[in-house]
Structure 1
Amino acid sequence: MHTFPVTVYYEDTDLGGIVYHANYLKFIERARSAWVRQLGVDQNALRAQGIVFAVHRIEADFLSPAQLDDALCVTTRAVAQSPARLTLDQQVFRGETPLFRARVTLVCITTGGKPRRLPPELLVLSGNA
C-alpha cells in the first residue's frame, strides 16, 4: 500500500473552511501520480510515446469532512487488474479517521484515444507481473 501526505490549504476549502468535494479527486490524483512514479513508470516518457493514463470509472463515498489545515494521508492499493485495466482502492484519512474512499479504474490509451495495454510496471498484483 502506498501512502501520500496532503495538507489542506485555504484554496482547498469553501467559505466554511470545509474541503470542497471535488478537491478529494485532486488529492487522490496526486497520490496516484506519486504511486505510479514509485513503481518506476515515467509518465513523461510514456506521453512522448503517445501513451497516457485515463480514469475509466470512479465510485466515491464522502464519509466525513476535512477542514482547513488538516494533515491528511491518502492510501492507494491495487485490488484488480487485467492487461488493459487497473482498479485501485484509495482512501483519505485524518489520523485514523476515514474521510473519503474511492474505487478507481484506470486504463491506458494512446493520445488519439485508442486503448493500449498497461505498462508492465503497473501489473503489480501477484500472478500478473
Structure 2
Amino acid sequence: MSHLFKLRVYYEDTDLAGIVYYANYLKFIERARSEWVRELGIDQRRMKEEDGMVFAVRRIEADYLAPAHFDDELEVQTAPEAVTGARIVLKQDVLRDGEVLFSAQVTLVALNETGQPARLPANIRLQLH
C-alpha cells in the first residue's frame, strides 16, 4: 500500500550551498502524508469537525543520506509499517532517480479535542491493515 508523491526542488527550498535545507525534507514528507491520507478517502477537516480528532506527529527518526539540489525532481514514497489502536508508523523515503536521499520513520497518533491521545477510528485502522 505504498503511495508516491512527486515534487520539484525550488530555489526557496535550498540553502546558500544550493542544496535542500535539511528542515525542508520534513515539509516534503508532510505534503506526501497529507496526499496519502486524502487518497485513502480520509477527510481530516471533517474528522476534526465531527469527531473532534486530529492526527499529530509523535516521533520522527530521520536519516539524511545524500543532498538534493535546486530543480531536482523528487519522489516521496510513503508506506505504513505498523498500525495499532492508537498509532500509525510510516516509512517515508525521498528519492531522486531511485536513489534514497532522505529516509524517515514517522509515528502518528490521534488526539482528541483536549489534545489527549485517542484511539484511531476503526474505519481508519481497517483501511491500513
In the TM superposition, what whole-angstrom CA distance separates every residue of 1:63-84 from its partner, at most 9, and x where no partner exists? 0000000000000000111011
- Once residues 42 and 81 of structure 1 are traced to their aligned partners in structure 2, the CA distance between those partners, rounded to angstroms, is 19
What letter is aligned with 1:42? Answer: D
The equivalences for 1:70-85 within 5 A come to 70-85=72-87
Say which of 66, 69, 80 aligns to 2:68: 66
Task: Provide structure 2 residue ranges, at least 5 long, that are not aligned to the other structure.
Answer: none
Task: Provide structure 1 residue ranges, at least 5 long, that are not aligned to the other structure.
Answer: none
Normalised by the length of structure 2, the TM-score is 0.93
Taking every aligned residue pair, what percent have the same amino acid on both sides? 56
Task: Name 1:36's counterpart in structure 2.
Answer: 37
In the TM superposition, what whole-angstrom CA distance separates every residue of 1:30-75 from its partner, at most 9, and x where no partner exists? 0000000011100110121321100011000000000000000000
Residue 107 (1) aligns with residue 115 (2): no
Moved more, 92-101 or 46-55: 46-55
- Once residues 37 and 125 of structure 1 are traced to their aligned partners in structure 2, the CA distance between those partners, rounded to angstroms, is 13
Contact kept, 8 Å, 1:74 with 1:90, in 2: the verdict is yes
The equivalences for 1:1-129 within 5 A come to 1-49=2-50, 50-123=52-125, 124-126=127-129
What letter is aligned with 1:22? Answer: A
Contact kept, 8 Å, 1:39 with 1:121, in 2: the verdict is no
Task: Calculate the aligned-residue CA RMSD, in Å.
Answer: 1.1
In the TM superposition, what whole-angstrom CA distance separates every residue of 1:69-104 from its partner, at most 9, and x where no partner exists? 000000000011101100000000001111000000
Deviation at 1:114, TM superposition (A): 1.2
In the TM superposition, what whole-angstrom CA distance separates every residue of 1:4-41 from its partner, at most 9, and x where no partner exists? 00110111000121000000000000000000001110
- Once residues 84 and 72 of structure 2 are traced to their aligned partners in structure 1, the CA distance between those partners, rounded to angstroms, is 36
Count of aligned residue pairs for this structure pair: 126
Deviation at 1:113, TM superposition (A): 0.6
- Once residues 82 and 117 of structure 1 are traced to their aligned partners in structure 2, the CA distance between those partners, rounded to angstroms, is 9
Deviation at 1:119, TM superposition (A): 2.7
